[in-house]
Structure 1
């Protein structure tokens, strides 16, 4: 009981801005942490240069396909509604199947396997070493000791199982978001003004709802990964613990994930607009974008680690209040 009380007094409750501030302080004040996370992020950095150029090229080509002009021009309103509006998605699907099947499959493979495997490898040292600094349990360690303690077999095995579950859940949700966006853009935009407005009212609230759900659950999923890294547990158990600890803290978790969501979007859109995926623009665009992506990745996992400890502190405080209330009722 005394230990839990000391934990609450030592770790004051933080809002989203406070969590971000603490996450920025950790790499800024600890050179070894910054050096080690930079070294472990180098494979991710190199891969992202290739992945982002390939992804942006496919996105631009797909957007051109979605903007195919209608082939039939002189139709009456009836034929336009029932033929023109639906001929474009059919032609889009046909062209995507003809021109991009290998590229889309290859891009999906890059996203699921090497990209997330590298994210998995970088998340472990960021969370583990960051937690030692955050809880003031940071002994002087050499790089060799950091590698040995960070990449422990039990920690790797448990975290890999949890990370695989998170990958499946997040991938299906992102697939649903992509499907909703493409459905509206490729289909409903070709209706007349009234029909387009009608379907926008139906489609966009669903899209926003799924996006909000994805960001809210992302904080829970990431906390479950943090729990696996710190405790070595794997499977369903970290998810249950993450749901319990984040109960009542959903808005802060959503706000933090929203910040990193806009971080990625705001970095990617200028590169798409200026054509950074082209080889001549690599040094001016893609490399700078990837550097900021890697910095955002370190910051995101540090934020998730601090958010976990803050949720844990709030849960302990809630437990102490309930115990004090029960003691008051029994003595009264």
Structure 2
């Protein structure tokens, strides 16, 4: 009973994990410098990608948007939407999909690999490291292939969930926004959207932990996902809230840029991507801390069960 109470008191919440992640960053200036260096290729690509993406979204919205009365006969007008999405729009969409699935994920994979590995070593040793120490801590090459397999699994799950969210938003915008039951449909779509968003956040926590497990433990693919789900037991809400924080961070940065048309000038995009990269680095530091805390709780629980079994056997 006392042991379980101590474990409960030691269980870290969302704020505790965020605080620990910030401590790791703030107390290791060389670590921050190193992360900025290795994140520079991803930063440059994201600036280009975000310009392209926001321009595409704004132009597509303008092509599709008409006053609500126009959609009075929306079941017939759906067939005319394809006519307004010309060949250029289709080719740009294909290009965006390719950029998102291939270069963006490959650059993110390389960045995540280094951040997770170094964060774990700093977390374990609990001491500041010099830039020389960081440079002399190479990632194990033998784990690259297996980690990449896990990363591909996670990317597929993430893309499928994002497609579900996109489909909901598109359905609401094209089909339901002028319906006579506007409020009802908006409520239904909103409820479904929140549910899918919650599932996406919870899934992100487990998937990101599986990548951390592959990098640190050498367990890959489905086994890494299963072990991540096992470690997450009892911490479902914590992981969900952590990923929701960073998801809202990204959305909160993008929406103002879309509204003010930052892609036309560029300074806003650069500022946005700088904050996005900062949040992305912090997210993976948080994932490492979250993994270590979950693992520690599981090991303590197993130890208590073994001690309890031994005590019962002696009695």
- What is the TM-score of this pair, normalised by structure 1? 0.87
Alignment of 1:304 onto 2:287: yes
Alignment of 1:189 onto 2:177: yes
For 1:231 and 1:150, how far apart are their aligned partners in 2? 16
C-alpha distance after superposition, 1:19-55 (max 9, x if no partner): 1111111121112211211110000111111011111
Task: Tell me the residue number matched to 1:260.
Answer: 246
For 1:70 and 1:190, how far apart are their aligned partners in 2? 5
Alignment of 1:292 onto 2:292: no
Q: What 5-or-longer segments of structure 1 have no aligned partner? A: 74-79
For 2:129 and 2:256, how far apart are their aligned partners in 1? 42
Give the counterpart of 1:57 among 51, 55, 58.
55
Task: Tell me the residue number matched to 2:230.
Answer: 244
Does structure 2 conserve the Cα–Cα contact (< 8 Å) formed by 1:88 and 1:187? no
Deviation larger for 86-95 or 99-108? 86-95
Task: Tell me the residue number matched to 1:26.
Answer: 24
For 2:213 and 2:20, how far apart are their aligned partners in 1? 19
C-alpha distance after superposition, 1:277-313 (max 9, x if no partner): 11xx212x01111110111111000000000001001
Task: Tell me the residue number matched to 2:84.
Answer: 95
Query: Cα distance, 1:256 vs. partner?
Result: 0.3
Does structure 2 conserve the Cα–Cα contact (< 8 Å) formed by 1:124 and 1:150? no
For 1:154 and 1:258, how far apart are their aligned partners in 2? 33
For 1:247 and 1:49, how far apart are their aligned partners in 2? 38
Does structure 1 conserve the Cα–Cα contact (< 8 Å) formed by 2:27 and 2:128? no
For 2:266 and 2:225, how far apart are their aligned partners in 1? 40
Give the counterpart of 1:219 among 205, 208, 226.
205
Does structure 2 conserve the Cα–Cα contact (< 8 Å) formed by 1:68 and 1:92? no
Partner SS state of residue 68, structure 1 = coil
Deviation larger for 154-163 or 217-226? 154-163
Task: Tell me the residue number matched to 2:214.
Answer: 228
Task: Tell me the residue number matched to 2:189.
Answer: 203
Does structure 1 conserve the Cα–Cα contact (< 8 Å) formed by 2:158 and 2:200? yes
Does structure 2 conserve the Cα–Cα contact (< 8 Å) formed by 1:13 and 1:313? no
Task: Tell me the residue number matched to 1:175.
Answer: 163
Task: Tell me the residue number matched to 1:76.
Answer: none
RMSD across aligned positions (CA): 2.3
Number of residue pairs aligned between Structure 1 and Structure 2: 310
Does structure 2 conserve the Cα–Cα contact (< 8 Å) formed by 1:130 and 1:305? yes
Partner SS state of residue 262, structure 2 = coil
Deviation larger for 89-98 or 34-43? 89-98
The 1:105/1:37 distance shift into structure 2, 3 A limit, reads: same
Partner SS state of residue 191, structure 1 = coil
For 1:147 and 1:88, how far apart are their aligned partners in 2? 60
For 1:187 and 1:254, how far apart are their aligned partners in 2? 31
Query: Cα distance, 1:68 vs. partner?
Result: 2.5
For 2:232 and 2:173, how far apart are their aligned partners in 1? 35
For 2:289 and 2:242, how far apart are their aligned partners in 1? 11
